[in-house]
């Protein structure tokens, strides 16, 4: 749920090892070091982060209902609080304890829940997810390793996960317990001897050397504090390339796309991308571009923003159901004029029927509905299942969708895409005059975060009135970007 932290900043050598640093260091020692030794001011949490915290708290509150009364040590892990944590677990009267800060050597951890049983403690990690994942086992294994290193015997390990069957007002519990003792104890056995070793590495004066690998693909430090000068277009920039293959190439001395031998077996999309990198230019596939002729006028360009909560406070909505709450529709006539229509329902009381009726009205007369991914199709199908009276109209709309993404994937590549076909990556190359810069909400994570905060009651009416126009502006730009991208694709030489 939360990580231990201190009120006052401390020197890197004095800071204890925390879970995120340890687990990231297992993937890349340099990444662990960079995390432990941050530079500059920490970025203040945006709406996306705040929503994740709020959601974690909401699920944590349910864990307190599930495990019952206990000592609650939420709060900053100051030295006094660490001492209090030790006192609490040493007190034979403590049966259940929440978020107790524990220290062992130079490592600290904070079990979400500790339950005293015969012979030791059951350690429970509370997760805002529905099913077991490998990373959950590793998260819990770190906590268990520190608990054991702190000389507290561990007799059980559990995940408390969101119950997919839970509904507001129903009789199902919000969380379900999953015993993972065997896996977690085995993994913690591997972690125990590494705790001090990793702390030694992340507190050393020099960062470990950078080593290119598949994990660099999504590393936040690449280009900023690591591999600042390249290599340009490393092999993991090939679209949809498997990590194992990337690591095999790098182990064999091939780090850049241009070094790949012609004989390497690649998909058509990967070959197109390689051609773009090798020629350092835009390359196109005329056959794939010809699919644009399937778009019938008048065309609409549609984008949804959605709301998805672990424990949605709305009747009949399942955990992590994805509710469409906002649409933007640009409509283009055969003469080339565009008109815009939009709707954003209040996430605090999302009326999906109002949303669907308004959307169907807006789509009347539109022949092809252009989207950029399969997301809108899935949401229309979800709405059709939920609203039988509107199902035929919604299914018909889903049948008129034209997904621009596979066309872009198969038809266009440019070195500056860096292997990504997201509209935000493609747009600066094909429509450079259109930009998301300057928008207060400029990405999906923060848009979803704002909606989630409103739904969880963390955004009052005044703040909602302030941010609502920003959400509208963001979604509107997404669909206008599609209009312009379509024009740019049509103008490409065949």
Q: Which residues bind ligand SF4 (CB under 6 A)?
A: 28, 30-31, 34, 210-211, 215-216, 219, 221-222, 226-227
**Where does 106-210 show beta strands of DSSP type E?**
107-109, 113-117, 120-126, 154-162, 175-179
Which residue lies nearer to ligand SF4 by CB, 9 or 230? 230
Report the C-alpha gap between 472 and 409 in whole angstroms: 28
Rg from Cα positions in the chain = 26
Give the residue from 445, 475, 348 showing the smallest Cα distance to 51. 445
If the CB atoms of residues 34 and 471 are measured against ligand SF4, the closer one turns out to be: 34
Q: How far is the CB of 317 from ligand SF4 (least distance, A)?
A: 38
Residue closer to ligand SF4 by CB (options 238, 404) is 238
Whether the Cβ atoms of residue 101 and residue 82 lie closer than 8 Å to each other = yes
Residues 456, 450: Cα–Cα separation, whole Å: 10
Q: Specify burial of residue 152 (Cβ count, 10 A radius: 0-12, 13-18, 19+).
A: buried
Kindly state the smallest distance separating residue 234's Cβ from ligand SF4, in Å.
10
Cα–Cα dist 232/237, whole Å:
10
Of 46 and 231, the one with the shorter C-beta distance to ligand SF4 is: 231
Q: Are 365 and 298 in contact (CB under 8 A)?
A: yes
Lookup: tokens for 184? 């977690």
Distances (CA, A) of 361 to 302, 306, 329, 358, 384: 13, 19, 11, 5, 15
* Closer residue to ligand SF4 (CB): 150 or 204: 204
Beta bridge pairs of residue 17: 107
Rounded distance between C-alpha atoms, residue 81 and residue 285, angstroms = 63
CB of 232 to ligand SF4, least distance (A): 14
Q: Which two tokens stand for residue 450?
A: 């704002």
To the nearest whole angstrom, how small is the minimum distance from the Cβ of residue 417 to ligand SF4? 20
CB of 292 to ligand SF4, least distance (A): 38
Burial 229-263 (b: 16+ CB within 10 A, else e): eeeebbbbbbbebeeebbbebbeeebbbbbebeee
Whose Cβ is closer to ligand SF4: residue 226's or residue 467's?
Answer: 226
What is the C-alpha separation between 50 and 450, in angstroms, rounded? 9
Residue count of the chain, please give it. Answer: 494
CB of 28 to ligand SF4, least distance (A): 3
**CA-wise closest residue to 333 among 291, 292, 303, 301:** 301
Instruction: Report the distance separating Cα 455 and Cα 447, nearest Å.
Output: 13
For residue 98, list its beta bridge partners.
Answer: 72, 113
Nearer residue to ligand SF4 within complex by CB, 115 or 241: 241
Q: How far is the CB of 224 from ligand SF4 (least distance, A)?
A: 9
CB of 25 to ligand SF4, least distance (A): 10
Q: How far is the CB of 259 from ligand SF4 (least distance, A)?
A: 18
CA distance 141 to 137: 6
Sign of CA dihedral 343, 349, 354, 360: positive
Q: Which is nearer to ligand SF4, 25 or 394 (CB)?
A: 25
**CB 36 to ligand SF4: min, Å:** 12
Residue 253 CB, shortest distance to ligand SF4, in Å, is 17
For ligand SF4, the closer CB: 36 or 199? 36
> Which CB atom, from 24 or from 303, has the smaller least distance to ligand SF4?
24
Dihedral Cα 257, 259, 260, 261, nearest 10 deg: 150
> Cβ closer to ligand SF4: 30 or 332?
30
């Amino acid at each position: 749920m939360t990580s231990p932290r201190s009120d006052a900043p401390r020197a890197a050598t004095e800071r204890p090892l925390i879970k995120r640093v340890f687990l990231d260091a297992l993937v890349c020692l340099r990444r662990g070091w960079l995390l432990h030794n941050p530079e500059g001011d920490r970025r203040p949490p945006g709406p996306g982060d705040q929503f994740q915290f709020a959601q974690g708290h909401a699920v944590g509150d349910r864990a307190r209902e599930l495990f019952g009364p206990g000592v609650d040590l939420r709060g900053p892990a100051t030295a006094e609080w660490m001492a209090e944590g030790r006192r609490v677990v040493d007190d034979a009267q403590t049966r259940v304890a929440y978020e107790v800060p524990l220290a062992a050597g130079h490592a600290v951890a904070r079990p979400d829940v500790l339950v005293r049983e015969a012979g030791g403690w059951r350690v429970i990690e509370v997760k805002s997810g529905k099913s077991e994942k490998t990373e959950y086992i590793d998260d819990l294994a770190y906590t268990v390793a520190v608990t054991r290193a702190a000389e507290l015997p561990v007799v059980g390990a559990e995940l408390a996960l969101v119950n997919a069957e839970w509904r507001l007002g129903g009789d199902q519990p919000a969380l379900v317990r999953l015993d993972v003792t065997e896996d977690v104890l085995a993994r913690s056995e591997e972690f125990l001897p590494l705790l001090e070793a990793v702390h030694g590495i992340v507190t050393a004066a020099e960062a470990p050397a950078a080593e290119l690998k598949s994990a660099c693909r999504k590393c936040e430090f690449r280009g900023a504090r690591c591999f600042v000068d390249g290599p340009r277009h490393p092999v993991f920039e090939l679209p949809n390339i498997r990590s194992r293959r990337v690591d095999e190439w790098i182990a064999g001395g091939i780090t850049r796309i241009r070094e790949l031998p012609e004989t390497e077996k690649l998909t058509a999309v990967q070959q197109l991308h390689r051609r773009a990198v090798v020629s350092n230019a835009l390359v196109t596939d005329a056959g794939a571009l010809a699919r644009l002729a399937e778009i019938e006028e008048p065309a609409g360009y549609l984008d949804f923003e959605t709301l998805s909560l672990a424990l949605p406070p709305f009747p009949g909505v399942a955990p992590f159901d994805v509710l469409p709450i906002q649409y933007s529709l640009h409509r283009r006539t055969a003469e080339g004029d565009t008109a815009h229509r939009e709707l954003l329902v209040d996430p605090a009381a999302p009326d999906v029927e109002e949303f669907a009726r308004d959307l169907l009205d807006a789509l009347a007369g539109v022949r092809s509905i252009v989207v950029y991914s399969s997301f809108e199709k899935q949401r229309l199908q979800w709405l059709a299942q939920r609203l039988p009276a509107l199902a035929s109209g919604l299914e018909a709309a889903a049948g008129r969708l034209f997904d621009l993404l596979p066309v872009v994937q198969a038809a266009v590549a440019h070195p500056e895409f860096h292997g990504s076909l997201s509209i935000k990556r493609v747009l600066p190359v094909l429509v450079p005059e259109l930009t998301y810069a300057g928008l207060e909400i400029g990405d999906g994570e923060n848009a979803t975060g704002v909606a989630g905060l409103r739904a969880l009651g963390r955004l009052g009416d005044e703040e909602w009135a302030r941010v609502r126009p920003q959400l509208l502006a963001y979604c509107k730009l997404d669909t206008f970007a599609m209009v312009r991208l379509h024009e740019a694709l049509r103008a490409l030489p065949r």
